[in-house]
Amino acid sequence: MSLAVVDALERGPVSISIDLIPGQSRNQLQAALQEEFTRHGRRNISNIVRQFIPERMAGPFLEMAQIMPEKRANQINAIERDTILRSLKSLTFNVAGARPLAEAMVTAGGVSLEEINPRTMESRLVKGLYFCGEVMDIDADTGGYNLQAAFSTGWLAGESAAVAV
């Protein structure tokens, strides 16, 4: 999603909304939250929230919701409960900008696919030069597609280079 966000930032401000609990409807989540509040009223709200989101996310989540993490569940009022519920179903924040390239996990761009023989991964411009992975102008959705492309093109480039020698 980062490429789409960076592109959108060039056109203006970007706001993102994430459903942190997509497997439950708002009503189901509301019932689950209420049960936790009722059963564990003496616990800190941060401990309750950790039942629904990763532990490392609980502090920043409560900060965004403007709720003190030390506050006990039985001290949370109806407005704060609604804020927690709303934020779990639609955590919204503004993107200030992209991180530096040195911190990137993936990149976009690279050698044009038109300049590469797809049967061998050899450059059409420089004989004996082979390309693979993200050095080429390919990127895909998450879920391992970039890794699969890197492994597959790497294998093909290596095999082709070995045969050419």
Tell me if the domain spanning 8-95 has CATH number 1.10.8.50: yes
Q: Break the chain into its structural domains and give their ranges.
A: 8-95, 101-164
Q: What percent of the chain has pLDDT over 70?
A: 95
CA distance 128 to 19: 49
Average pLDDT over residues 109-116: 93
26: left (phi over 0), alpha (psi -120 to 50) or beta: alpha
* Neighbour tally for 83: CB within 10 Å: 17
Q: What is the pLDDT of residues 10-22, one digit of tens each?
A: 999 999 999 999 9
